[in-house]
Chain A
Amino acid sequence: MTGPAPGRRPDETALAPTGTYVAVWAALLFFLGLTIVVAKVRLAPFGAAANLLIATIKAGLVLTVFMHLRSEGRFLKIMLGVALAALTLIIMLTFSDVLFRR
């Protein structure tokens, strides 16, 4: 009744070993340190871009491992893609106005 989970059913996400979760957490803290260093050395115009890139790597780690997106089917992945594409489109359309407004 309360034994370890039997084999994973197809509608379930796949658990990772505890070590993997801890390793991802360590990686997240590493990237936190890295993003602070990047901000401090002032890579001039690239600082902000680098920090957003690092944030996206961190978000990707949380999504794939902590939120188990890695073992999700195509359906949820595509839907997430649609949501992200919608947000990207909104940002691009807005900036196509803001950047060229005089």
Chain B
Amino acid sequence: MDETRTPILTGAAGREGVDELGKRTGMWFFLFTELLFFGGMFLLYSIYRYKFAADFHRAAADENLVLGSVNTAILLTSSLAMVLAVAAVRRGQIRRSLGFQRATISLGTVFLVIKGIEWGAKISRGIYPNGPTLLSLGQGQILFFGLYFTMTGLHALHVLIGITVIAFMIRFTKRGVIGPDRYARLENTGLYWHFVDIVWVYLFPLFYLIT
């Protein structure tokens, strides 16, 4: 049956129908839509920060710089673990890759827990959308916290999705579906994880470092 079929794609190195670039291109294009998705929110943030500069600075004083910095370091480290997991699979080091995939999930989970602690501290003081303390603040501060919850919330959702996807990748790797010659799923998962990391790299200075 295989002999009668004409391959549409001749793999770059003679592997019929296999095109690693094509697999990555799909993921990159998805990431471009994600870029504009978060970009819209960053645009909104810049407009309101321009209009309510003083309120934004006052509201940002409420952010916990220590927790924010620790979380940034954790996410950056998780990106290192992710890229090492991809590299290990491609080098045929399956066990090592599984270890790094688990490390990525653990670090992502710690990130979410810390994020939860930060949110919890705000919520317990009445700072949440339509919360009593929040409504007593100035318009610009209400906007700041609205953007904070929306943007860090959607970012956290992305981290959660990333963790879930990596959990599947661990199963695939264990079953040999992912291996040195078939690693596109893991590599694309990595691209997603690194993108989410980059989003946080911008969120951090915008919410924690306005003095």
Interface positions of A (Cβ within 8 A of B): 2-5, 9-13, 15-16, 18, 21-22, 24-25, 28-29, 32, 35-36, 38-40, 42, 47-48, 51-52, 54-55, 58-59, 62-63, 65-67, 72-73, 75-76, 79-80, 83-84, 86-87, 90-91, 94-95, 98-99
Cβ–Cβ contact A55 & B202, under 8 A: yes
Cβ–Cβ contact A62 & B32, under 8 A: no
Sample of 20 more A-B contacts, CB < 8 Å, known A9-B12, A32-B72, A36-B209: A2-B179, A11-B12, A11-B21, A11-B22, A21-B80, A21-B83, A21-B87, A25-B79, A36-B69, A39-B209, A39-B210, A55-B205, A59-B201, A66-B80, A67-B195, A76-B28, A87-B36, A91-B43, A95-B46, A98-B51
Q: How far is the CA of A21 from the CA of B36 in the complex (A)?
A: 28
Q: Is B191 an interface residue (CB 8 A)?
A: yes
- Which residues from chain A contact B65 at a C-beta distance below 8 Å? 36
User: Interface residue tally of chain B, by bracket?
Assistant: 35 or more
Contact of B209 among A13, A28, A51, A65 (CB under 8 A): A51
- Which residues from chain A contact B11 at a C-beta distance below 8 Å? 9, 11
Task: Give, as a whole number of angstroms, the nearest-CB distance from A86 to chain B.
Answer: 7
**Closest residue of chain A to B38, judged by CB?**
A87
Cβ–Cβ contact A2 & B69, under 8 A: no
6 contacts between A and B (CB under 8 A): A11-B21, A13-B187, A18-B84, A58-B201, A59-B198, A62-B201
Q: Given that A18-B84, A55-B201 are contacting pairs, would A9 and B20 also be in contact in the complex, using a CB cutoff of 8 Å?
A: yes
Cβ–Cβ contact B211 & A42, under 8 A: yes
Tell which of B89-97, B127-135, B137-145, B156-164 binds the partner: B89-97
Q: Given that A10-B13, A18-B84 are contacting pairs, would A28 and B179 also be in contact in the complex, using a CB cutoff of 8 Å?
A: no
Q: Given that A29-B76, A39-B209, A47-B211 are contacting pairs, would A5 and B92 also be in contact in the complex, using a CB cutoff of 8 Å?
A: yes
Task: Give, as a whole number of angstroms, the nearest-CB distance from B159 to chain A.
Answer: 15
Q: Given that A11-B12, A18-B84 are contacting pairs, would A66 and B43 also be in contact in the complex, using a CB cutoff of 8 Å?
A: no
- Which residues from chain A contact B32 at a C-beta distance below 8 Å? 79-80, 83
Cβ–Cβ contact B20 & A12, under 8 A: yes
Interface positions of B (Cβ within 8 A of A): 11-13, 15, 19-22, 24-25, 28-29, 32, 35-36, 39-40, 43, 46-47, 50-51, 65, 69, 72-73, 76-77, 79-80, 82-84, 87, 90-92, 94, 179-180, 187, 190-191, 194-195, 197-198, 201-202, 204-205, 209-211
Cβ–Cβ contact A2 & B94, under 8 A: yes
Q: How far is the CA of A72 from the CA of B40 in the complex (A)?
A: 27
Contact of A11 among B19, B72, B209 (CB under 8 A): B19
Contact of B24 among A4, A13, A52, A87 (CB under 8 A): A13
- Which residues from chain A contact B47 at a C-beta distance below 8 Å? 94-95, 98
9 nearest A-B pairs in the assembled complex, by CB-CB distance? A39-B209, A83-B32, A51-B205, A25-B80, A9-B13, A11-B12, A11-B20, A11-B21, A87-B39
